Structures are given as structure tokens and as C-alpha cells.
Amino acid sequence: MGCAGPNQLKGFTRAGMGPCQGRMCGHTIVEMMATERATSPAEIGYYRIRMPVKPVTVGEVAGLNRKGVAT
């Protein structure tokens, strides 16, 4: 498709937007792009890390006040 990197591919295809948020498929996506371009995964890059860094439940999010501190 000519995507510049995995973040653009994510925007076009939603790859990496499932329940794991790219934690399981992200490396596979980068490997596939690197293979297709005959380059290294390091040159392709990886998904931008976004909050939350680790999976959280809705209950945990609901327990935060406006300053992000647990109540």
C-alpha cells in the first residue's frame, strides 16, 4: 500500500487496534513490512506508545479523579 510506517498502516487498516492494542501483532506487522521492503525492522520502526501503557479495566479508569489519582 506504500505506507510510510506501522502507524500509517494502523490508520488505514486498524491493524493494532484490537484488544491487545498492538502488543501481540505489532512485531508481526513490523516484520511483514520489513520483509516486503527488504529492510530491517529497526528501519521500519514500531507503533507509537500511547496511554495506557499496560491494559487497565474500566473500573480502574472510573476510580480515578480528574487529576489521575485513585480515589
**pTM over cut 0.75:** no
Q: How many CB atoms lie within 10 A of CB 41?
A: 16
Ramachandran assignment for 47, one of left (phi > 0), alpha (psi -120 to 50 degrees), beta (any other):
beta
3-class secondary structure, 70: strand
Cα 52 to Cα 55: distance, rounded to the nearest angstrom: 7
pLDDT tens-digit series, residues 1-60: 678 889 999 889 988 888 778 888 899 999 999 999 999 999 999 988 777 777 778 888
3-class secondary structure, 71: coil
Supply the pLDDT for residue 53: 72
